[in-house]
Amino acid sequence: MVNEKMMEKLKKLATLIRYYILIMTTYAGSGHPTSSLSGTELMACLLFGGIFRFDVDHPKSPNNDRLIFSKGHASPLFYALWTAAGELSEEDLLTYRKFGSPLEGHPTVSFRYVEAATGSLGQGLSIGVGMALNAKYIDKLPYRTYVLLGDSEMAEGSQWESMQIAAHYKLNNLIGILDVNRLGQRGETMYGWDIEAYEKRISSFGWKTIVLDGHSISGIFAAYEETLHVTDQPVMLIGKTIKGKGVSFIENKNGWHGKVLSKEECDRALKELGEIDKSVRGEISLPEDLRPKEPTPQKPLKKIDYPADKPVATRKAYGNALVRIFPQFPNMVSLDGEVSNSTYSEIFKETYPERFFEMYIAEQNMVGAALGLSRRGKIPFVSTFAAFFTRAFDQIRMSQYSDPNIKFVGSHAGVSIGEDGPSQMGLEDIAMFRAILNSVVLYPSDAISTERLVEEAAKHHGLVYIRTTRKETSIVYRPEEEFPIGGSKVLRRSDKDIATVIGAGVTLHEALEAYEALRKEGIFIRVIDLYSIKPIDERTLREAAQATKGIVTVEDHYAEGGIGEAVMSALATSRAPVYSLAVKKKPKSGKPQELLDYENISQIGIVRKVKELI
Amino acid sequence: MVNEKMMEKLKKLATLIRYYILIMTTYAGSGHPTSSLSGTELMACLLFGGIFRFDVDHPKSPNNDRLIFSKGHASPLFYALWTAAGELSEEDLLTYRKFGSPLEGHPTVSFRYVEAATGSLGQGLSIGVGMALNAKYIDKLPYRTYVLLGDSEMAEGSQWESMQIAAHYKLNNLIGILDVNRLGQRGETMYGWDIEAYEKRISSFGWKTIVLDGHSISGIFAAYEETLHVTDQPVMLIGKTIKGKGVSFIENKNGWHGKVLSKEECDRALKELGEIDKSVRGEISLPEDLRPKEPTPQKPLKKIDYPADKPVATRKAYGNALVRIFPQFPNMVSLDGEVSNSTYSEIFKETYPERFFEMYIAEQNMVGAALGLSRRGKIPFVSTFAAFFTRAFDQIRMSQYSDPNIKFVGSHAGVSIGEDGPSQMGLEDIAMFRAILNSVVLYPSDAISTERLVEEAAKHHGLVYIRTTRKETSIVYRPEEEFPIGGSKVLRRSDKDIATVIGAGVTLHEALEAYEALRKEGIFIRVIDLYSIKPIDERTLREAAQATKGIVTVEDHYAEGGIGEAVMSALATSRAPVYSLAVKKKPKSGKPQELLDYENISQIGIVRKVKELI
């Protein structure tokens, strides 16, 4: 229980935090003070009441408890907390939302105490799931992960994905704190202050729920203490709170979301706060100083070994590659969205079951959890059908602001999957992943290049996408071939090349067939395997553009944002004509080859286009 | 209650349906027979037991009940049902999954009884929400919407978004049928046959639940009859079923998802089915012949009227436009994701509250519901922040296979939103929407062009994206100006133009400023407003490319898949150099102009680039 002295101190701290929230938002002229004021006691008690354990001098310490503001717009509260902890000055706070300040409008990892960027709602809990999975199943450390949630964002389906997976994995080290302040951006939330509605739903998803008054320090304390004794369930504190709490004229009033007080209103509000003790400082408890053993990278156990004459699906080579390289990258984990027998991550699961997490058909949470794992030093390989990554585009997009180290692997790319039809065809995935800043987009064409590119992906710190193919493709390369990120392979070249055909994945094989067909007619083409779509091998492309009459790109993907446009972009100032063969008609069910022909991206289409260029 | 005769007939029909499922999948060599067999009684009773009302000769009749297979992989069951109804022949079934057949691997609207394409899981219920909203609140018709759901797909957060919204809008005309066959693709689902887990969760979300044996015809009947008496809640039938039901050697066995029986196995299975009465035909009840009044389009009530000297945010003009054009497009509805006071759909809401649906912060369901409304003849305008449409990319992607007529409107595009920071900035939205087949992507730069483009969007049958801007922009056009889809505006041109600068939205204004700055130095540029990014005005771009030394594109969006690449694509074979100015550094919080400068997409960057070209 909290003693009277602590109670007094926490009250002072709450007042100080409110003071910070108000001055920083009024000074900035924008921000979300009311959404910050509602969560003040919930957070002050957590951080400064001895619950939260964190070494402020070593924010990256593996022993620290983690705190994620899923309601990222409450960033003023977050920054105010760290100011109350003595880690920021009042002067720092006045840089809030200014260009170059680490105190951005919504939290980003520019500020050293932010675990992951938030601001698109409904994502913090999944990041927390990743961190809690890491603590419980991988690092086996006692740190706990706390996530502050808004009530509006409970409408996001992603929350319920996280909720079910957290319960499934019995993440008792994951604590949600739901700040039910009743009001969303433009009015009341779906449930207002119907706390029971939240309680029923959350407990039905397998969580322990604790309902409390979110402004009662003693109540909050009791709740946090209760969470410490839960052994097999995640816990949700459901706090009834008042938006704008502490400032009478904005308390529980609609129309005050994302709105700041004027200078005069702020002065009036500060008076209402009463005495502000600027000398009080919140103390955060230190965690135990445990030293988890860092695993030592070893050489791969196996060699790459595929018979040169036996076709292998690149998705299968992906599974093999994971197993092969794990000793070298012992921080790897594999996550899959209930399709491990299609993506072939099941090969990894069979060998390293303790490093594999079944995430079921809930891609948003899977990607969020991968970010959480990545932020805790793991290298997540996340696999599902290429098409289904679109389900998590917002999470993928947001991850780019958290210095991610995640490898996305999408199988079943393109019309070449055949009979299953368009719903299962990844046709926008290259466009999606290319549009992420500093992303790497790789597309192997055979088992060997897959093995190598999986290795390159693991080596590279950053967000990488690897596109694999459902159908078997023949072996193109020798096992010792290297595939650096940003490279390409010129597979056919001569002095007589009249055009350059650029393929990748399944279309590379079509390009090689077109080469043979044309060669028989005495027509020579250069064939390039663009296995690295981003970054792209500009030099090789430019050389080819200069040496031949035109470039033909061919891809099993829609034209926009795909390989064709990547090549056009690389050659945009080189005056080389680029002809794009891509999926341009509504795809349907059929045999893979029928569909490649129908879309004009098979060797027939390539031959036709090359002949047009003569 | 079902009488004995009906019971006998339904048993025969179920056997016949199983026969169809088995022969069509074995013949096709791929498909999902086991997932179809589990739902056979649930669907046979619905369609042929007098519950479902549907005029088979007029599948588009507004009076028809609607049936959506959210578990789209059970398409063999769907096609078998319509065969049992006499609407397909056994011969037709043998075209299943063949190129050109309307009976695709997963249902698409090529088959006339498919309400919407499915196959990416967790989307059918939201489409159903749209159809049920239409029945209850717009058309005010008694038709009911049935959605067959798989248990695996209940892991998708989108389901819970739909669930909560359906309860919120008291959609008692929406009936979910959950086929709990325990097994997912690669093993058991998260809850297996724990029916209570589903029951608790679904009822906590405000649904009436009815638990039943999914193979008991009398039980199923009783359940459907019960649904008819529910007045203020959606209803979920939770059926415990057996995957592969009816074929002993595949019943309830793992490893049989998406796997078909060999010819021999199929013969063995057919024997197990016992006598197959191919003469039995399921009869579907006719709906009442109601004639809902089609609203008559009228001329817009207001004129476009903005003072030429007063800047207006295009997002605000969007709200105004909705109100202005509604009389002309009386099938319009507006959906918003709890940000109507930011997107300004609230202007429409205030005037036409009965045509506005608050969809809360649940973008996936919002987009799915929009598709449902579109399939029922409405023209949904769906608005949220541009960035947050990424949350629904899978739903957007899937909608393209359902002949959609949806208008997406994304506000807060680009770094020019300023202080809120990267999480709120739409920087991938153009790439995302361009990658959709036959999509239209529009980007107005002032209030006038916004008004016109909203009108064009409403006129155009198809998927349209309109990008609006947070900050106010000055008026560029006169009210009578036309903005056809696929056009562009050459705003500055002379015989001395040395370069062409292409902007849109906020960057058009930067381009115009750059023009002024350069003109003062005696340097002339052509300035094009590329308000229609897709389709793109190739002719004007080619003319500009020929007339000037180079093209400079400038966009408040990441480089990949954006305006630059759209222009490169249009000019790919024209040998014109294209220089892309785009967001290429990690954005942050700051003032809009600071950020435009930082990203080199303001007039400063344009002037610099043009001078480099001289």
Give B341→chain A minimum CA distance, Å: 6
Contact assignment for B152 to A578 by CB distance below 8 Å = no
> What's the CA gap between B347 and B247, in Å, rounded?
58
* Of the candidates B73, B115, B100, B463, the residue with the CA atom closest to the CA atom of residue A588: B100
pLDDT at B404 (0 to 100): 98
Contact assignment for A431 to B436 by CB distance below 8 Å = no
B105 contacts in chain A (CB < 8 Å):
419-421, 424, 589
> What's the CA gap between B599 and B611, in Å, rounded?
18
3-state secondary structure A168-183: HCCCCCEEEEEEECCE
Residue of A nearest to B364 (CA): A157
pLDDT at B325 (0 to 100): 97
Span A588-601, pLDDT tens digits: 999 999 999 999 99
Contact assignment for A435 to B558 by CB distance below 8 Å = yes
In the predicted structure, residue A304 carries a pLDDT above the cut 70:
yes
A342 contacts in chain B (CB < 8 Å):
185-186
**Who among A97, A119, A575 is closest to B575 (CB)?**
A575
Contact A227, A210 (CB under 8 A): yes
Cα A406–Cα A411–Cα A412 angle in degrees, nearest 5: 155
Contact assignment for A397 to B419 by CB distance below 8 Å = no
Q: Which two tokens stand for residue A459?
A: 């080596």
B594 contacts in chain A (CB < 8 Å):
99
Give A106→chain B minimum CA distance, Å: 6
**Who among B427, B432, B568 is closest to A432 (CB)?**
B432
Contact assignment for A588 to B164 by CB distance below 8 Å = no
> What's the CA gap between B69 and A415, in Å, rounded?
23
**Rg of chain A over all Cα atoms, to the nearest angstrom:** 27
A167 contacts in chain B (CB < 8 Å):
none
Mean pLDDT of all residues in chain A?
97
Return the percentage of chain B with pLDDT > 70, whole number.
100
B199 contacts in chain A (CB < 8 Å):
none
Mean pLDDT of B151-178: 98
What is the reported pTM? 0.98
Give A181→chain B minimum CA distance, Å: 16
In the predicted structure, residue A2 carries a pLDDT above the cut 80:
no
- Reported as a pLDDT band with limits 50, 70 and 90, residue B1 is low
Give A563→chain B minimum CA distance, Å: 11
> What's the CA gap between A178 and A21, in Å, rounded?
20
Span A27-72, pLDDT tens digits: 999 999 999 999 999 999 999 999 999 999 999 999 999 999 999 9
Sheet arrangement for strand A578-583: A489-492, A525-529, A499-503, A551-558, A578-583
- Reported as a pLDDT band with limits 50, 70 and 90, residue A293 is confident
> What's the CA gap between A259 and B606, in Å, rounded?
34
Contact A411, A425 (CB under 8 A): no
Exactly one of A153, A161, A363, A565 is catalytic; name it: A363
User: Would the CA dihedral through A544, A546, A550, A556 be positive or negative?
Assistant: positive
Mean pLDDT of all residues in chain B?
97
**Who among B110, B423, B534 is closest to A106 (CB)?**
B423
B204 contacts in chain A (CB < 8 Å):
200-201, 203-204
The one-letter amino acid code at B514 reads A
Sheet arrangement for strand A235-240: A66-69, A145-150, A174-180, A235-240, A208-213
Contact assignment for A560 to B184 by CB distance below 8 Å = no
> What's the CA gap between B199 and B235, in Å, rounded?
11
Half-sphere CA count of A526, side-chain side, radius 13 A: 28
Contact assignment for B30 to A419 by CB distance below 8 Å = yes
What are the residues facing B385 on neighbouring strands?
B411
Span B368-425, pLDDT tens digits: 999 999 999 999 999 999 999 999 999 999 999 999 999 999 999 999 999 999 999 9
End-to-end CA distance of chain A: 85
pLDDT at A211 (0 to 100): 98
The one-letter amino acid code at B70 reads S
> What's the CA gap between B13 and B588, in Å, rounded?
63
Contact assignment for B157 to A364 by CB distance below 8 Å = yes
**Among this protein's residues, is A419 annotated catalytic?**
no
- Reported as a pLDDT band with limits 50, 70 and 90, residue A1 is low
A161 contacts in chain B (CB < 8 Å):
155-157
pLDDT at B3 (0 to 100): 87
A341 contacts in chain B (CB < 8 Å):
185-186
DSSP sequence for B471-531: SEE---S-TT----TT--EEEE--TT--EEEEE-THHHHHHHHHHHHHHHTT--EEEEE--
Span A84-125, pLDDT tens digits: 999 999 999 999 999 999 999 999 999 999 999 999 999 999
In the predicted structure, residue B2 carries a pLDDT above the cut 80:
no
In the predicted structure, residue A291 carries a pLDDT above the cut 90:
no
Interface test with A, best of B68, B186, B502 (most A CBs within 10 A): B186
Mean pLDDT of B181-192: 96
Give A285→chain B minimum CA distance, Å: 31
Helix (H) or strand (E) segment spanning residue A566: helix A563-570
Distance of CA B400 to the CA centre of its chain: 7
Q: Which two tokens stand for residue A152?
A: 């509006």
Mean pLDDT of A294-308: 89
Residue B185 three-state SS: coil
> What's the CA gap between A54 and A60, in Å, rounded?
10
Give B254→chain A minimum CA distance, Å: 12
Return the percentage of chain B with pLDDT > 90, whole number.
98
Q: How many CB pairs under 8 A join A and B?
A: 338
Interface test with A, best of B98, B200, B560 (most A CBs within 10 A): B560
pLDDT at B294 (0 to 100): 85
Span A256-279, pLDDT tens digits: 999 999 999 999 999 999 999 999
Mean pLDDT of B560-585: 97
Interface test with B, best of A195, A346, A361 (most B CBs within 10 A): A361
ipTM greater than 0.90: yes
3-state secondary structure B428-446: CHHHHHHCCCCCEEECCCC
Q: What are φ and ψ of residue B533, in 5° steps?
A: -80, -30
Distance of CA A254 to the CA centre of its chain: 33
Helix (H) or strand (E) segment spanning residue A219: helix A217-227
> What's the CA gap between B464 and B438, in Å, rounded?
9
Residue of B nearest to A162 (CA): B157
Strands (E), B267-327: 312-313
Per-position b or e across B574-595, b if 16+ CB within 10 A of its CB? bebbbbbbbbeeebbbbebbbb
**Rg of chain B over all Cα atoms, to the nearest angstrom:** 27
Mean pLDDT of A6-13: 96
In the predicted structure, residue A449 carries a pLDDT above the cut 70:
yes
Span A118-168, pLDDT tens digits: 999 999 999 999 999 999 999 999 999 999 999 999 999 999 999 999 999
Span B200-258, pLDDT tens digits: 999 999 999 999 999 999 999 999 999 999 999 999 999 999 999 999 999 999 999 99
Exactly one of B363, B428, B451, B555 is catalytic; name it: B363
> What's the CA gap between B143 and B141, in Å, rounded?
6
Per-position b or e across B167-187, b if 16+ CB within 10 A of its CB? bbbbbbbbbbbbbbbbbbbbb
